[in-house]
Amino acid sequence: MDIILLLTGLALIIFVVAVVALMWSVRSGQMDDLDTPALRMLGDDPPPPPNEPL
Amino acid sequence: MSDPRPSGALETFRYDNAIVRLFIIATVVWGIVGMLVGVIISLQLAWPAANLDLPWTTYGRLRPLHTNAVIFAFAGNGIFAAIYYSSQRLLKARMFSDGLSKMHFWGWQAIIVAAAITLPLGITQSKEYAELEWPIDIAIAVVWVAFSVNLMGTIIKRRERHLYVAIWFYLATVVAITLLHVVNSLVIPVTLTKSYPVFAGIQDALVQWWYGHNAVAFLLTTPFLGLMYYFLPKAAGRPIYSYRLSILHFWSLIFLYIWAGPHHLLNAATPEWAQTLGVVFSIMLIAPSWGGMINGYLTLRGAYDRLRTDPVIRFFFLGITYYGMVTFEGSLLSLRDVNALSHNTDWTVAHVHNGALGWVGFMLFGMLYWLVPRMWKTELHSKAIANAHFWLATIGIGIYALSMWTAGIIEGLMQLWFNTDGTLRFRGWSDQLDNIQVLYWVRVVAGLFYLTGLVLMAWNLWATARRGTAVTDDEAQAPALLPEVDLDKQVGEALAKSGQAKVSALHGLVERWPMVFLALIAVAILIGSVAEIIPSLIQGALTPRIASVTPYTALELTGRDIYIREGCNNCHTQMIRTLRAEVARYGDYTRPGEHIYDRPHLWGSRRMGPDLARAGTKLSYAWNFTHTRDPRKVDGSHNSTMPRYPWLYVDEMDLSTVERKLSVLKSAPIYTPYTAREVENAEADARHQAGEIAAILRQDLPTEAGAVQGLENKEIIALIAYLKRLGTDLNKPSAGAP
């Protein structure tokens, strides 16, 4: 069945994508700090600026 | 709190708010449209005349419009608003391309409009939540790729090194939906408005529910968890209770969800191992799902007092509650014995509405009440109206769930009920309808409650926007991100300096054990998907051929396409499950080999009316003729909820494409064994068979059938030809058999 070849190909592409994503996240230290990101996201809003002409 | 590693110079940039506002407006507008259609079709089930006897407003055509509008237009635009707002701020960057953002928005709205036009016209593939025909499917793929590139590009140019957990949830959505949509939409076009899937029967059903289940997972779950992880802490003013738990439940959710699809095909003509796999993983899904719920609840610790006053916190709190309830309910419904009762009944309808109105709806409402004042730089117009919305929605969904749970359990019990002498207690369908009709009216009221709340919200948000000012861009500042450094190399060098080079490799491994774990999970997901789909396909290819099962004739195929056009599969299944009560009611259980020429499969998922898998063995030509014209005119059917189909007796069947249809079905990769003669003579064969059926009808129903001029050319003849064929092949003496 042709469709098996297609699905296998798709699955292999996803596999490669997932592995690359994980390799990248290991190397860039995404998981090194699992405490501050939760706090950091709270502070990212600037105070409401006055309406300015665009 | 800041990243200890060196960073670049401070940069000033602007967040794109205009695109967020567009998606907000679209969410509200399409939400009202989708739910209004929902109320209309719920009214039709209580009162069939509400379809006005028009083809474009019948239940079978409007139901896909309702589901598509709520899923892809309301929830879809909602998550895009959430993603475009939160991603920019989490990544400290404007969206990658304003052009792609605009293309995403306007392309998506064009797709929705195309759906709203084609579905009422009966242009449909009939596969649930993937009904749109192939040109629209291609447009969806193009727009989705634009969205994906836009999000990935923003991630690449981000100024925040760490990807917050919400971003991971969004990424999972982007990647998974691409794959699911493409694979489930593989068709061979016949015309611009008609196509046949490359999969047939059991394979089509397995691919469809692999898609259907994971569409729930990756369109209605992961992006909404991402939404929760951004907007809930923001609204509560507190960090997520446990960031570690959020990461853990993200990966375990991804790992488990992909396996659970077969629980939509329990007790059916699907491989037993696949069913068991689906059940086991559905039960396991409770853990990561409740991980999310608990994390949400505990994030609200210290903010619970605001439940009394703050509509945002109220909506989020109830949304999270519904998430916990609906994921537990889903696992419960996937148990084979519970499913025997619940499947095909209104219990499933209650379940999906708990998800779509309770979880998806409430999370979006919470987000909108938080976001709209910020996008228009003002205060919410009226907290009192928002609270009124909250109560209307809460009461609405509560009544909805209670009424449909009750209806579903009544239907299940009555269908499974045996007398002591082993005969069915309730043979006909009307006993059941007598008991649930009142609940259909209750459901209409519940829908009106929910819709009224939504309209109040729309007005409230509009008033808020009107008194505020839309600032196109928010200005922000963040240091540039320097190129990534190779940490392993740095660590290695540092360790070598201190004379510990030998242990560095092992140390690095142990230090990063969660990453090793995650890598193993990714491999497991892949193996899981491949192991689940490929054997099913092989099994499909090797499905024991039943010698007596032959392809549909040209006329039957035409009738089948009318069945698809009218959306009959929305209310009638064609799958007799391996349950004693079903065999007693409908006849021999369905064999996979009976459906190898079904493109698409029409197994269905809901029985508003009886199963039709063996309809051809029971109901006469005359009965079908009378019943389809006015279902309430035949014996034992006085309270039927089925629409009338008067136009089938007026409109002439279109045989202009039938030769091409057979030719497409005969071609690769579909290979339906039509002979060259059958293809060439398709139209003549169809006319010949139609003439025979018209003659039978004129004989059996001299007055009614005789009154229809040119009966042999009417669409009803083709439909009856198909209905009379259903399920008859299994016990038909095969031409070649001894």
Ramachandran class of B469: left when φ > 0, alpha when ψ lies in -120 to 50, beta otherwise: beta
Nearest-Å Rg of the Cα atoms of chain B is 28
Q: Which tens digits make up the pLDDT trace of B628-668?
A: 999 999 988 899 999 999 999 999 999 999 999 999 999 87
- Find the CB nearest B475 among A17, A36, A49: A49
Could you tell me if B72 and B93 lie in one domain? Answer: yes
Q: Which tens digits make up the pLDDT trace of B571-627?
A: 999 999 999 999 999 999 999 889 989 999 999 999 999 999 999 998 999 999 999
Q: What is the mean pLDDT of residues B504-514?
A: 50
User: How high is the mean pLDDT of chain B?
Assistant: 90
- List chain A residues with CB under 8 Å of B377: 48, 51
SS3 B606: strand
- Find the CB nearest A1 among B182, B523, B537: B537
What pLDDT is attached to residue B496? 63
B736 vs B521: CA distance, rounded Å: 51
Could you tell me if B578 and B465 lie in one domain? Answer: no
Give the count of domains, chain B: 3
Could you tell me if B414 and B500 lie in one domain? Answer: no
Could you tell me if B499 and B454 lie in one domain? Answer: no
B554 vs B688: CA distance, rounded Å: 10
Q: Of B483, B456, B234, B478, nearest to B367 (Cα)? A: B234
Could you tell me if B382 and B507 lie in one domain? Answer: no
Share of residues in chain A with pLDDT > 90 (%): 0
Q: Is residue B203 domain-resident? A: yes
Q: What is the mean pLDDT of residues B294-308?
A: 93
In contact, B597 and B574? CB cutoff 8 Å: no
Q: Is residue B599 domain-resident? A: yes
**CA closest to A50 among chain B residues:** B377
State the number of CA atoms in the 13 A half-sphere of B254 facing the CB: 26
Count of residues making up chain B = 738
Q: What is the mean pLDDT of residues B376-383?
A: 94
Could you tell me if B642 and B523 lie in one domain? Answer: no
What pLDDT is attached to residue B428? 85
SS3 B13: strand
- Find the CB nearest B534 among A4, A15, A19: A4
What pLDDT is attached to residue B472? 77
Is 80 exceeded by the pLDDT of residue B551? yes
Q: Does B703 touch chain A (CB under 8 A)?
A: no
Sequence-separated (6 or more) residues with CB below 8 Å from residue B248? B288, B291
B254 vs B217: CA distance, rounded Å: 9
- List chain B residues with CB under 8 Å of A51: 377, 469, 471
What pLDDT is attached to residue B681? 96
What pLDDT is attached to residue A2? 41
What pLDDT is attached to residue B402? 97
Instruction: Please judge whether B519 and A22 are an interchain contact, meaning their C-beta atoms are less than 8 angstroms apart.
Output: yes
Could you tell me if B474 and B498 lie in one domain? Answer: no
Question: Which H or E element spans position B181?
Answer: helix B165-184
The reply to whether omega before B514 is within 30° of 0 (cis) is no
Q: Of B490, B232, B154, nearest to A32 (Cα)? A: B490
**DSSP strand E in B585-734: where?**
none
- List chain A residues with CB under 8 Å of B183: 7, 10
Question: How buried is B473 (Cβ within 10 angstroms: 0-12 exposed, 13-18 middle, 19+ buried)?
Answer: middle
B473-479 and B187-191: which strand pairing? unpaired
Q: Is residue B10 domain-resident? A: no
B315 vs B654: CA distance, rounded Å: 51
Return the exposure string of B6-42: e unless at least 16 CB atoms fall within 10 Å of the residue's CB, then b.
eeeeeeebebbbbbbbbbbbbbbbbbbbbbebbbbbb
B428 vs B626: CA distance, rounded Å: 18
Q: How does DSSP assign B70-135, residue by residue? A: IIIIIIHHHHHHHHHHHHHHHHTS--S-HHHHHHHHHHHHHHHHHHHHHTTTT----STT--S-HH
- List chain A residues with CB under 8 Å of B670: none
Cα dihedral B394, B400, B405, B407 in deg (nearest 10): 160
Enter the tokens of residue B648.
Answer: 């089938």
Between residues 365 and 384 of chain B, which touch chain A (CB distance below 8 Å)?
374, 377
Q: Which domain holds residue B497?
A: 483-511
Q: Is residue B2 domain-resident? A: no
Q: Of B441, B484, B634, B401, nearest to B42 (Cα)? A: B441
Q: What is the mean pLDDT of residues B250-271?
A: 83
Instruction: Please judge whether A8 and B530 are an interchain contact, meaning their C-beta atoms are less than 8 angstroms apart.
Output: yes
DSSP state of B361: I
Distance from CA of B465 to the nearest CA of A (A): 14
What pLDDT is attached to residue B487? 52
B555 vs B52: CA distance, rounded Å: 29
Q: Is residue B9 domain-resident? A: no
Could you tell me if B65 and B107 lie in one domain? Answer: yes
B36 vs B675: CA distance, rounded Å: 48
Q: Is residue B504 domain-resident? A: yes
What pLDDT is attached to residue A15? 63
Is 50 exceeded by the pLDDT of residue B15? yes
SS3 B704: helix
Between residues 170 and 229 of chain B, which touch chain A (CB distance below 8 Å)?
175, 179, 182-183, 186, 198-199, 203
Enter the tokens of residue B674.
Answer: 């039509």
Could you tell me if B519 and B597 lie in one domain? Answer: no
B329 vs B344: CA distance, rounded Å: 15
- Find the CB nearest A37 among B182, B243, B469: B243
CATH number at residue B146: 1.20.210.10
Instruction: Please judge whether A38 and B243 are an interchain contact, meaning their C-beta atoms are less than 8 angstroms apart.
Output: yes
In contact, B178 and B123? CB cutoff 8 Å: no
Could you tell me if B199 and B327 lie in one domain? Answer: yes
Enter the tokens of residue B299.
Answer: 């994030």
Confidence label for B183 from pLDDT (cuts 50, 70 and 90): confident
- List chain A residues with CB under 8 Å of B486: 27
In contact, B317 and B307? CB cutoff 8 Å: yes
Could you tell me if B357 and B395 lie in one domain? Answer: yes
Is 90 exceeded by the pLDDT of residue B84? yes
Enter the tokens of residue B277.
Answer: 């796999």
A interface with B, Cβ–Cβ below 8 Å = 1-4, 6-8, 10-11, 14-15, 17-19, 21-23, 25-46, 48-49, 51-52, 54
Q: Is residue B215 domain-resident? A: yes
Enter the tokens of residue B119.
Answer: 């579905």
Q: How does DSSP assign B128-159, residue by residue? A: TT--S-HHHHHHHHHHHHHHHHHHHHHHHT-S
Between residues 666 and 685 of chain B, which touch chain A (CB distance below 8 Å)?
668-669
Q: Is residue B1 domain-resident? A: no
Confidence label for A1 from pLDDT (cuts 50, 70 and 90): very low
In contact, B488 and A32? CB cutoff 8 Å: no
Confidence label for B738 from pLDDT (cuts 50, 70 and 90): very low
Share of residues in chain B with pLDDT > 70 (%): 90
Q: What is the mean pLDDT of residues B695-706?
A: 94
Confidence label for B708 from pLDDT (cuts 50, 70 and 90): very high
Is 90 exceeded by the pLDDT of residue B718? yes
CATH number at residue B593: 1.10.760.10
Could you tell me if B450 and B493 lie in one domain? Answer: no
